Structure 1
């Protein structure tokens, strides 16, 4: 089924850039609120406040050291290994299989596609463009496999895996938190999606939160995306499965059944 290239990119890649932008926005808001609180505390000027401030600074120093150590640990994060028909990642403890005839992209290829999608989404909005650029810096593109050529004139079933570093400042503690932030951002941006309630599903032996969205492709076809999310090792680890009809859904169901978490 032929769909415009813009619709193809929109359907297959927008979830990646939007979800990280949504959580990046939450981080910016949290940081702004935190800065305001510190300013108000500093202007209080009492001895008690000074003592409290010293305690706070000590706590913040400890938290900073912890965060630095955490950031250092991220150097050991691996993007995983994608081969013909399979993906495996020891860091996140996950593996899956997809049809051997499907096309797949490595991290470099995924980065190029998501950058193209970001430009289409941001347009001339400099603020949104900067937000998308910053959010992508925290994102690990792990897997992109598709039945049809990626970024081409047609949309078919596909499977993606991405992970984004999250922190308590963002208020992201569960996969559901991550998906709700995504939904809020997308609704505010007035993207043409219909949403089902977020539910929980076990996939590969791991409980993950699930948000299903649909989009009218404009030719009588409905594009469906199942977005799974769970917090693993300080990252929001996500699967994005795309399908259009019963046949392509059957292909995706087979991939889901192959997922294994250690």
Structure 2
């Protein structure tokens, strides 16, 4: 179960549906001080003070690679496309409710990713970006159920487009919600992963601490 969870969690770190083929310019990946994650480039802060565990880049990269393998399987073309996506994606934050490796059925988490958008991709809004994410998910061997609706939600003064999906692999399911907005030619995407309503509420409570300037 743990390997499945790590791989599925890693999936949201490698989805690159509208990526630029060029490496993004150097941007602020953010800092953490007194449990507050701040990002000057995108102009926001998130309060992680209530027992959220911030994961190091090494852990994020491990999950990213496992997610790529699970998504691509034996498809070399898919693997090449995902490798290309590495050039345009910046992993800003991964925070989990419990330490990695904790003996829990599922470790709810939030990830924040920025992806440089190709100007000719046709992606002009968060909704466009999320529609492309659905296409990529449907190309994998993982059963994906999309709730069929795009919604608009506001966190911290910024409007996001939102969708929900349920991923099922080997009879195990994880619910995710994606929130996307276009900022400075990037898709800023927040993804929460959970398996219960209590976990879902805790993640929403966390997102309520977002502040955009």
Q: Which TM-score tier does this pair reach, normalised by the shorter chain?
A: 0.7 to 0.9
Deviation, structure 1 residue 83: 4.7
Alpha carbon RMSD of aligned pairs, Å? 2.5
Task: Calculate the TM-score normalised by the size of structure 1.
Answer: 0.72
2:11 maps to 14
Tell whether 2:188 aligns with 1:244: no
User: Alignment partner for residue 204 of structure 1, among 134, 150, 156?
Assistant: 156
1: CA distance, partners of 2:131 / 2:187: 13
1:147 maps to 97
Partner of 1:242, secondary structure, is strand
Deviation, structure 1 residue 167: 2.2
Partner of 1:193, secondary structure, is strand
Deviation, structure 1 residue 95: 0.9
* Map 1:50-199 → 2, pairs under 5 A: 74-75=25-26, 77-83=27-33, 85-150=35-100, 154-196=105-147, 197-199=149-151
Tell whether 2:194 aligns with 1:260: no
Deviation, structure 1 residue 189: 2.8
Deviation, structure 1 residue 119: 2.4
Deviation, structure 1 residue 191: 2.6
**Residue deviations 1:16-38, cap 9 Å, x none?**
21x21x224xx68xxxxxxxxxx
Deviation, structure 1 residue 254: 1.2
Deviation, structure 1 residue 204: 1.1
| 92-101 vs 195-204, greater mean Cα deviation | 92-101
| Count of residues paired in the alignment | 211
CA contact (8 A) 1:5 1:152 kept: no
2:18 maps to 23
Find runs of 4+ consecutive structure 1 residues off by over 4 angstroms: 151-154, 216-219
Task: Calculate the TM-score normalised by the size of structure 2.
Answer: 0.87
1: CA distance, partners of 2:101 / 2:123: 31
CA contact (8 A) 1:178 1:236 kept: yes
- Comparing both structures, which one devotes a greater share of its residues to helix? 1
2: CA distance, partners of 1:5 / 1:223: 12
**Residue deviations 1:34-53, cap 9 Å, x none?**
xxxxxxxxxxxxxxxxxxxx
Deviation, structure 1 residue 94: 1.0
2: CA distance, partners of 1:151 / 1:124: 28
Query: Structure 1 stretches of 5 or more lacking a match?
Result: 29-67
1: CA distance, partners of 2:157 / 2:120: 29
- Comparing both structures, which one devotes a greater share of its residues to strand? 2
Query: Structure 2 stretches of 5 or more lacking a match?
Result: none
Deviation, structure 1 residue 155: 2.0
CA contact (8 A) 2:156 2:211 kept: yes
Partner of 1:170, secondary structure, is coil
2: CA distance, partners of 1:85 / 1:157: 18
